[in-house]
Amino acid sequence: VKTTKTLVEKAPGIFSPEQLLEFGKQSIAGVPLEALAATINKICSIALLSNATESENAVNVTEMNYVLLTEGDNVTIPLLESDDLWSNPLFNDSHDTVILVTGWTSNINGSNKAIDTIYKAYRARGGYNFVVIDTSDYVDTLYTWSAFNTNDLGVELANGSKDLIKYLPVE
């Protein structure tokens, strides 16, 4: 109820629920899908900007991990225990470090051709630590709604990475 009221107050120019329903019916009959998608996107964006709603899947940093990819073994370390990663014997502090954060519709569960290809390219060049952080549990949803978790993810990733400067020089 609060969300709907806030949306109505903040967005006088969007369709009313009745108009949206009628528009939805018309779209089935042939009105362009792009117009319906644009309306849904606008509603979601206004709700997001109004701070009147909360994500149904709030970021839980205790469920997030670093994955250090190596030729032999991949090392998984909880995000909150980043010192264990930076001081791990497989983490070479004389190498540059690449941190790849998965995004919308990508994850490290199972095979991921894009991540595998990027990792193989860095491995072929040599001299790199390659670390993946999987955020898909918090952003793999309707694109506009995934924005709810983006700031929280950024804060948690920054907190986890802040001690990296103890192990690698800042350039």
What digits encode the pLDDT tens for the residues 130-167? 999 888 777 666 666 677 777 788 888 888 788 777 77
Do 18 and 97 fall within a single domain? no
Within-domain flag for 26 = yes
Q: Looking at the structure, tell me whether residues 36 and 72 fall in a common domain.
A: no
| Structural domain count, the chain | 2
> For the chain, what percent of residues have pLDDT higher than 90?
21
Structure tokens at 124: 């072929």
Res. 23: pLDDT tops 70: no
Task: Output the average pLDDT for the chain.
Answer: 77
> Cα 168 vs. chain centroid, distance in angstroms?
25
Residue 121 sits in the same domain as residue 147 = yes
Provide the pLDDT for residue 31: 56
Is the confidence at residue 38, as pLDDT, over 70? Answer: yes
- Identify whether residues 157 and 76 lie together within a single domain: yes
Q: Examine the domain organization and report whether 74 and 158 are in the same domain.
A: yes
Query: Residue 76: inside a domain, yes or no?
Result: yes
- The identity of residue 6, as a single letter, is T
What's the mean pLDDT in 75-85? Answer: 89
Same domain, 90 and 117: yes
Q: Do both 46 and 107 map to the same domain?
A: no
132: buried, middle or exposed (CB in 10 Å: 19+, 13-18, 0-12)? buried
Is residue 144 domain-resident?
yes
H-helix or E-strand spanning residue 166: none
Residues 125 and 97 in one domain: yes
On whether both 151 and 92 belong to a single domain, the answer is yes
Most confident residue range from 51-65, 71-85, 115-129: 115-129
- Band (pLDDT 50/70/90 cuts) for residue 2 is low
Let me know whether 156 and 80 are in one domain: yes
Domain containing 113 equals 61-166
- Residue 171 inside a domain? The answer is no
113, 65: one domain? yes
Among 6-10, 98-102, 108-112, the range of highest mean pLDDT: 98-102
